[in-house]
Amino acid sequence: MSGSPVGTQKPPAHSSTLAAATSLLDSRPEAALAQAEAILQRTPGLPAAEFLACQALRKLGQSDAALPRLAALARSQPRVPAVLWELAQAASEAGRSREAIGALENLTRLQPAVAGGWFLLARELRKSGRDEEAWRADLSGVHASSRDPELLKAAVAMNEGRLDESASMLTARLERLPGDPAACRLLGEVNWRRGDMTEALAWVERALELAPGFDLARDFLVRLLLQNNRLPEALDHAEKLTTSPVRSPGHDLLKASVLVRLGQQEQAQQIYEQLLALKPEQPQVWQNLGHVLKTMGRQPDAIHAYRQAVLHQPSMGEAWWSLANLKTVKLGPDDISAMEQALASLEPEREERQEDIFHLHFSLGKALEDARDYAASFHHYDQGNRLRRTLVRHDADDFSAEARATADTFSAAFIAEMGPGGCPAPDPVFIVGLPRSGSTLVEQILASHSQVEGTMELPEMMIIASRLQSRVDEGEFPDFRTMITSLTPADRLRLGEEYIERTRVHRQTGKPRFIDKMPNNWQHVGLIRLILPNARIIDARRHPLSCCFSGWKQHFARGQTFSYDLTDIGRYYRDYVGLMAAYDEAAPEAVHRVLYENMVTDTEHQVRRVLDYLDLPFEQACLEFYNNDRAVRTASSEQVRQPIFTDGMERWKHFAQWLGPLIEALGPLNHAGFAEGHSS
């Protein structure tokens, strides 16, 4: 805290003595106190000596003794920040919040750009039950921190990718100022950018311990918790944000996004509608509302919301794609013209508006496919995929090597060697495969059974698998097999119980079984069987050209990085079939395969076979799955709300002349090979 008592008026004879006494303050406060008192005996009332004596008393734990002297000094030196700071610290330590608050209010008026005074004021206000004032004081402290040169320098280093340099600056600062919330939050972001989520969470949580009114830190924490799928905690913090004295629609939007992830669509809908009632010209909010309404099966309302989004922002590519992606909606000539105009307007801004551009290409591809202009349709699908491919990371060679390593690990001998273990819970039903393989149809059929709850594509198994793989990547184990072999029965039990516990938040009913429809879990079938031996696994499979082409022309919100190149997606399909065939050989009958083509042409027989595999009785509701009004978030959400149809089974044939790279990548799987293994 800058400023000192008017010691500049002291006689020069005391300068060296006072300096010597001050140098003892941290290491020998009792000696500093004795020397300060000696100076005061010779020069009563000398402000600098009186101030030093009070500092020494506080360091010796005698804040009560320091308080009256500091109060007197503050009256004689009312505009010296250091005196007010010391008075506030002493009053706080003595439990005299009212006096501390008074000193800090004077201090922050004198030095509004110094964050420490605001943060200490917030703590004292909070002790006195003045929570809203405390929150505002924290926000003022954050505002002051945003102008701190040292923090700005660390932030610049972080944003320029000099993460180690930024971390070093912040660590050094926190050694001097361990109670600095802004430095804690910034160090949390540095660790997040490094990929160290544990440290990131710890530092951001520390920032909020120090300054509960630090809205930006709480917002960041919610996003970190979402990334870790810690949804109940994320909701708690999001709800806290909405009570901030500085109202922000962004806080409401963040809470709505958490509610969506929790499957509480109706509550998210209410938030979006309230925001739009206050300000209708918000295309992003209209789009978000459309997503929720689509998930709830309210298609006409979803269409209206998406139309409102593009009305307010005609170049909003994601809203156009959301309309096209309803599958049961056909975009007409006027829509095509509007999208072409939007695309033309964006081309000069290609770098800034890439997401809008590739979304518009995908949307035009779908509209022109519906109009049977297949050449133009393919051109737009191709342009959208090429642009999207530049924005994602996928190494087909590395992925194939990982799939082979997994297949080589989970041999019959290895499974026998590992022996029994894991969590015995029979609750989970995993539906795996590729996107656009008919998995949503299988899910909707099973979720119509009285004993099965449909949830969504749950990330928990992938989080567990990623954590295990990181032990190989970080050098703890030389390879995947060694790491898996190291799992003891107790480890497997713990991991299985972790999965059951982490997914509990998604279960809204008392039904004994639940579905996890994350398609990418085909990569982890062996791990699933190790940690959840009684879980059931259904492999939803579709003809390779039909499945891969459907996936290639689908823009996915996240995760499917292999799908934006015809060769990549063909190789991915081959890796999938290869690993599943290896597992079928190692553990026959463990995985039940459902071929989409069989399901749509011989529905009742296929449904009965799946239910037999799950040891569930047949129920007619499974054949009337389209009457189930549960929320469905995937691209097939509208298709599974109507009886089975076969229109889309061979759409790829309209584009066959352009699918050479896919056909070549698939190789022998273009024929009957895709169905190898146990199938129903």
Q: Span 593-597, mean pLDDT?
A: 93
| Number of Cβ atoms within 10 Å of the Cβ of 419 | 8
pLDDT at position 635, please?
Answer: 44
- pLDDT bracket for residue 106 (50, 70, 90): very high
- State the Cα angle at 251 between 249 and 257, rounded to 5°: 105
pLDDT at position 644, please?
Answer: 61
What does the alpha-carbon distance between residue 188 and residue 217 come to, in Å, rounded to a whole number?
Answer: 9
What does the alpha-carbon distance between residue 284 and residue 323 come to, in Å, rounded to a whole number?
Answer: 14
For 498-554, the pLDDT digits (tens) are 999 999 989 989 999 999 999 999 999 999 999 999 999 999 999 999 999 999 999
Q: Any idea how long the chain is?
A: 680
Q: Is the pLDDT of residue 284 over 70?
A: yes
Q: Is the pLDDT of residue 182 over 60?
A: yes
Q: CA nearest 480: which of 417, 413, 402?
A: 402
Show the tokens assigned to 177: 């100022």
Region at 95 (left for phi over 0; alpha for psi -120 to 50; beta for the rest): left
- pLDDT bracket for residue 18 (50, 70, 90): confident
pLDDT at position 243, please?
Answer: 96
Q: Give the three-state DSSP class for 454.
A: strand
What does the alpha-carbon distance between residue 361 and residue 385 come to, in Å, rounded to a whole number?
Answer: 8
* H or E segment to which residue 383 belongs: helix 374-389
Beta strands across the sheet bearing 513-516: 452-456, 513-516, 428-433, 536-541, 591-595
- pLDDT bracket for residue 647 (50, 70, 90): low
**What DSSP line would sit under 422-451, residue for residue?**
S-----EEEEEE-TTSSHHHHHHHHHTSTT
Beta strands, E only, 3-100: none
What does the alpha-carbon distance between residue 128 and residue 100 come to, in Å, rounded to a whole number?
Answer: 11
Show the tokens assigned to 643: 């009886």
CB 521 within 8 A of CB 432: yes
Q: CA nearest 86: which of 46, 51, 115?
A: 51
For 341-384, the pLDDT digits (tens) are 999 999 766 667 899 999 999 999 999 999 999 999 999 999 99
Quick one: how far is CA 570 from the chain centroid? 29
pLDDT at position 255, please?
Answer: 97
pLDDT at position 680, please?
Answer: 39
pLDDT at position 8, please?
Answer: 43
Say what angle helices 283-295 and 299-312 make with each other, to 10 degrees. Answer: 170
Query: What mean pLDDT is reported for the chain?
Result: 91
CB 545 within 8 A of CB 666: yes
Q: Span 398-409, mean pLDDT?
A: 95
On whether the pTM is more than 0.85, the answer is: no
- pLDDT bracket for residue 675 (50, 70, 90): low
What does the alpha-carbon distance between residue 205 and residue 218 come to, in Å, rounded to a whole number?
Answer: 8
* H or E segment to which residue 570 belongs: helix 566-586
* H or E segment to which residue 84 belongs: helix 81-93
For 575-584, the pLDDT digits (tens) are 999 999 999 9
Q: Span 56-85, mean pLDDT?
A: 91
pLDDT at position 347, please?
Answer: 74
For 217-260, the pLDDT digits (tens) are 999 999 999 998 899 999 999 999 999 999 999 999 999 999 99
pLDDT at position 641, please?
Answer: 46
**Domains present along the chain, CATH in parentheses:** 7-111 (1.25.40.10), 329-391 (no CATH), 398-675 (3.40.50.300)
Whether the CA torsion 650, 559, 263, 599 is positive or negative: it is positive
- pLDDT bracket for residue 632 (50, 70, 90): low
Show the tokens assigned to 613: 């595999």
pLDDT at position 17, please?
Answer: 83
Half-sphere exposure at residue 578, Cβ-oriented, CA atoms within 13 angstroms = 19
pLDDT at position 456, please?
Answer: 86
Show the tokens assigned to 67: 């308080």
